[in-house]
Structure 1
Amino acid sequence: MKLIAVIISAAVAVVVLVTGGAVWAAKRGGDGPAIPDRVMLQAEDLNGVEPGPAADEEGLPQPCADSPVPAPVASRAIAADYLPRARVHEFVAEFPETVAGSYIAALKEQLGRCKAGGGEDGFRLIAEDPIGPGTVLFSKQYDEGDRWVAYTAGVTGRYVIIISVTDPVVGGADFTTANDLLGKALRRAAQSGR
């Protein structure tokens, strides 16, 4: 009987690890409300492009796989084609207010400690506080460092916002666009209340 319980526990742990990101994608833990539309970027923020649900949600970046980051109580992702060749993702995570800033602090620390170099895949710090305190600009390199995605993250109140921008044709990204959209997203989330 104990062996069966151990096997079931192990199977549940594997399912949680494999599907964990998708399970909490848009809901608060349990049956609580999802993050409201008014918190997310809107068409007027994206040059008239209507955002939709993100098909490939990555969740909160974690440069050091062996270091835990705080878990959000709710999250949601959207995506939009922006400019001629840019794909934009916005990921919003809601935390208890005293915890939201600790994710950004952990992210900055991990970007400094677990950075990719040269031809390596992984994350690379570009700038701390590029558009104000509590923000960070970084990239995620892939294809042996030949391609990258621009990321920028920031915190306002209970929300951590991650913006990623990529050019799917050449595998690069525009850091200025990422910072501009993060500024818009932070203002929108700050004005939305909860």
Structure 2
Amino acid sequence: MRRTLIVVTTVILGLVSAGVPAAAQQRPRGIPDRVMLQPDDLGGAAPGPVEDGLVWSLLPQPCSDSPVPQPFMSRSQAADLGTRFRIYENVARYRGDGAHRYITELKAQLARCGVGGDEEGFDPVAEDHLGPDTLLFLGTYDEGDRYVGYVAAAVGHYVVVVMMSDPYLGAADLTTLNGLASAAISRAAG
């Protein structure tokens, strides 16, 4: 009986330990570098970590009482674009159609909870302007006089969010932002 128990225990431990490397290979290893904006996209600037205390969300949720689909992994980075702008990028990976569901919910929340004029919050600007499942919107502050610019896009299983801030004038350059977002969308699609 004891010998049978030892054999059964050994077999079970062998099966469990044989399954560990296979499970480790199946586990996601994070968002790959190739999906993120690179120095070539950023005018030579090397992206680095996002600073602590960033007040703007890199996965926006305009209606605080309504949840948005959450990714199972994400990665953020930031870079200075010249001497004026700060660029932030977040790439989030979703299962199934979660990326599309996030953008659909973001569009609905911007329509329902977006602000305009002299209010603080999120202000929708354009939908599907860079292709399907893309959004251009503003994060407004200082009674609506200043803003950061956002582009969000669903690309396969990824949601790409690129945000631009200008600490001096408080007004992002939306043309430059759209160009960077196009590069980020291409990288995520690649």
Distance 1:52 1:158 in 2: 24
- Paired residue secondary structure (2:135): strand
What RMSD over aligned residues (CA atoms) do the two structures have, in Å?
1.3
Moved over 4 A (4+): none
Q: TM-score, normalised by structure 2?
A: 0.81
Distance 2:187 2:31 in 1: 13
Larger radius of gyration: 2
Distance 2:111 2:174 in 1: 19
Q: In the TM superposition, what is the alpha-carbon distance from 1:123 to its structure 2 partner?
A: 0.2
* Contact preservation (8 Å) 1:119, 1:144: yes
Task: Render the CA deviation track for 1:25-66: whole Å, top value 9, x for unaligned.
Answer: xxxxxx852212111000011111111111246331001111
Q: In the TM superposition, what is the alpha-carbon distance from 1:143 to its structure 2 partner?
A: 1.4
Distance 1:117 1:183 in 2: 26
* Contact preservation (8 Å) 2:121, 2:139: yes
2:21 is matched with none
* Contact preservation (8 Å) 1:97, 1:157: no
Percent identical among aligned pairs is 52
Task: Render the CA deviation track for 1:106-164: whole Å, top value 9, x for unaligned.
Answer: 11111111011222110000000111111000000011111100001111111000000
Distance 2:141 2:75 in 1: 24
Q: TM-score, normalised by structure 1?
A: 0.79
2:135 is matched with 136
Count the aligned residue pairs: 161
Distance 1:99 1:91 in 2: 16
Unaligned runs of 5+ in 2: 1-26
Unaligned runs of 5+ in 1: 1-30
